[in-house]
Amino acid sequence: MTSINFRSAIRFALREELRRDERVFLIGEDIGEAGGVFKVTEGLLTEFGAKRVIDTPISETAIVGAALGAALMGLVPVAELMFCDFTTTAMDQIVNEVAKKSYLSEGRERVGLVIRTASGAGISFGPQHSQSLEAWFMHTPGLYTLMPSNPRDAKGLLKSAIRSGKPVLFFEPKVLYPMEGEVPDEEELIPIGKCDVKIEGKDLTIVSAGAAVNTCLECAKKLKTDGISAEVIDLRTFYPLDSKTIFDSVEKTGKLLLVEEDVGFCGWGAEVAAEVAEEKIYSLKSPIKRVSAPYSPVPFSPALEKMFVPSPEIVYENAKLLANS
């Protein structure tokens, strides 16, 4: 095992896949000479050249459209959209083309591509560069949606996404780029569509994703000092959703807390809550509880942004109330 940061884990995954398969190439704004706005692709242009690390004009529609065309011709593009907020300028390509090509061709046209994009708040980039939009794409049949919470999953999930042969949106919580973590020295592929039970517990189930998982782990440590045993589950994949792992946990604990950085209204937590209510209502000892961002644009002010994102204190208070209910 080697300790590397989240940013490096993604870079290592890209480098290994570029070396492994000559069909793989990278495309996006400032990913070559500049090494990416978050320096994720730094050094890859030097190693692989401009035909496989392609700098583009500022046009998300063109980036996704070019990646789609390349995928249809048998290549394996990994497209970078600098911020997930900018997926909005490429919605027609992502939602109406990438997601539907296989369906419209009765499976004859295979679209194996990955769209990497930085998501979430935490570094005061303002309301147009700090959103969490994963729920939009969960709602679109034909797309896989992934979000790692640590360096090990960032590397292993990205490698699986590149090899999946599916259209994948890969959300990278930008606040995690400096995060250090242990990553295996040997190759590891993290399975798509499988939750990770980070901590086992018996008193309540806490489900989260991305950067919020680490908030929940911090909360679980504090709950332990109160004699409360929390089971923490990292979704890792929004679609396909691993409902079974969540159901099994709820059957054991009888209580469910959902923690998401996104706006709660129509967020991924609403879908998880609905599925648990439909399938495991009689296992619940208390109503499902959700902690999320308020129904508001992400504030630019660091002080307000800190209040916007669910904090360890807020998660702890809600988890303790639920556990004792």
Q: Which of 131, 199, 141, 132 is nearest to 166 (CA)?
A: 141
Does residue 240 have a cis peptide bond before it, meaning omega lies within 30 degrees of 0? yes
Q: Which of 53, 43, 50 is nearest to 77 (CA)?
A: 53
CB 144 within 8 A of CB 161: yes
Can you tell me the distance from the alpha carbon of 211 to that of 147, in angstroms, rounded to the nearest whole number? Answer: 9
Would you state the pLDDT for residue 100?
97
Can you tell me the distance from the alpha carbon of 74 to that of 96, in angstroms, rounded to the nearest whole number? Answer: 20
Quickly state the pLDDT bin for 200 (edges 50, 70, 90): very high
Would you state the pLDDT for residue 95?
98
Catalytic residues: 129
**pLDDT digits 0-9 by tens, 215-235:** 999 999 999 999 999 999 999
Would you state the pLDDT for residue 4?
97
How many Cβ atoms from other residues are within 10 Å of residue 314's Cβ?
15
Average confidence (pLDDT) over 42-51: 97
Residue that is written with structure tokens 């692989």 in the block: 48
Kind of pairing, strands 2-5 and 180-183? antiparallel
**pLDDT digits 0-9 by tens, 247-297:** 999 999 999 999 999 999 999 999 999 999 999 999 999 999 999 999 999
Can you tell me the distance from the alpha carbon of 151 to that of 164, in angstroms, rounded to the nearest whole number? Answer: 20
**pLDDT digits 0-9 by tens, 298-308:** 999 999 999 99
Q: What is the mean pLDDT of the chain?
A: 97
Full-model pTM: 0.96
Quickly state the pLDDT bin for 21 (edges 50, 70, 90): very high
Q: Which of 37, 10, 1 is nearest to 151 (CA)?
A: 10
Quickly state the pLDDT bin for 187 (edges 50, 70, 90): very high
Would you state the pLDDT for residue 17?
98
Residue ranges of domains in the chain, CATH in brackets: 2-183 (3.40.50.970), 196-323 (3.40.50.920)
Quickly state the pLDDT bin for 172 (edges 50, 70, 90): very high
Quickly state the pLDDT bin for 319 (edges 50, 70, 90): very high
* Percent residues over pLDDT 90 in the chain: 99
Kindly give the interhelix angle for 268-279 and 243-253, rounded to the nearest 10 degrees: 60
Would you state the pLDDT for residue 30?
97
Would you state the pLDDT for residue 156?
98
